[in-house]
Structure 1
Amino acid sequence: MTDQGVDSRPRISAAVVVQRGRVLMVRRRIAEGSLSWQFPAGKIESGESPEGAAVRETLEEAGLCVAAVRSLGERVHPDTHRHMSYIACEVVSGTAHVADRDEVAEVTWCAHSEILAYVPAGLFPPVQEYLDGVLPR
């Protein structure tokens, strides 16, 4: 018997990458629900940790080598209904660019004051709290 209340789709891990007072955002070629701009993110592969997925997805999508710093929390996303893990990451090497042209249309470094312009619905509160603490205002 299956539990119809459980989403069987793969879990998603998002990398919250901060460098020089800005946070990395990517614009998807195809929006998910009302989301166009978001953090680098993707499916957590079998046997992979949320931290590992965040690091891998950032390299695949934005060409940046990052290191996971800590988990910022998990939730079921209110728009996509996917189970999400949010991982704070720091840049190890590289320069952000569109590395996966099939999935990503654009990358940008977003200042604290610009977050709502990119994500009008607002961020997951623990992510917003983290960014409030690490980004200059």
Structure 2
Amino acid sequence: MAFRKGITVPIDAQRAVAAAIVVQDRHVLLVRRRIAEGVLSWQFPAGKIEPDETAGEAAVRETREETGLLVAPIRALGQRIHPMTGREVHYIACRALGGEALVASVEELAELAWVRHGEIPQYVPYGLFGPVQQHLDTALQR
């Protein structure tokens, strides 16, 4: 179990990934990978949790590597075995601290989008993990 900065989650370093749920100006950041993971097209910035880091640290690192955006973890929203990939995913609510979101990793990402609440189903038609949806229902309506 990893303990640091208020985000405590068990980590299976072989399979676990962290996803950053970044909200800014009533939009959430989504990315489209160059190589699709099954039916997943658009998703949150995410990547493997390294053995020496927490899920929050991984979410921050992956967001920076993929999009150039500097974020800070706010709180863990939950974790699950993703029904489409079979991978353990830790969802971390994050706030933007600086930088401009862009495709920083052209090897990994095809594009990114800042999406309004009502547009989410156009990007993610299969629905979101319940705690993530609840967080966005609140954060994007402010």
Task: Give TM-score, length-normalised by structure 2.
Answer: 0.89
2:117 corresponds to: 112
1:71 aligns with 2:60: no
Local SS of the residue matching 2:64: helix
Alignment of 1:8-87 (within 5 A): 9-87=14-92
> C-alpha deviations, 1:47-91, integer Å up to 9, x for none?
110000000000000110000000000000000000000000000
User: What amino acid maps onto 1:27 in structure 2?
Assistant: R
Q: Which runs of 4+ in 1 moved over 3 A?
A: none
Distance 2:120 2:85 in 1: 19
Distance 2:58 2:17 in 1: 8
Could you tell me whether the CA contact under 8 Å between 1:9 and 1:82 is conserved in 2? Answer: no
> Kindly, what percent of the aligned residue pairs are identical?
58
Local SS of the residue matching 2:29: strand
1:4 corresponds to: none
> C-alpha deviations, 1:11-66, integer Å up to 9, x for none?
00000000000000000001101001000000000111000000000000011000
1:125 corresponds to: 130
Distance 2:112 2:100 in 1: 11
What is the aligned residue count?
131
1:3 corresponds to: none
Q: Which runs of 5+ in 1 are unaligned?
A: 1-6
Q: Which runs of 5+ in 2 are unaligned?
A: 1-11
2:5 corresponds to: none
Distance 1:29 1:101 in 2: 8
- Say what the alpha-carbon RMSD is for the aligned residues: 1.3
Specify the structure having the higher radius of gyration (Cα). 1
Give 1:10 shift: 2.4
Give 1:119 shift: 0.6
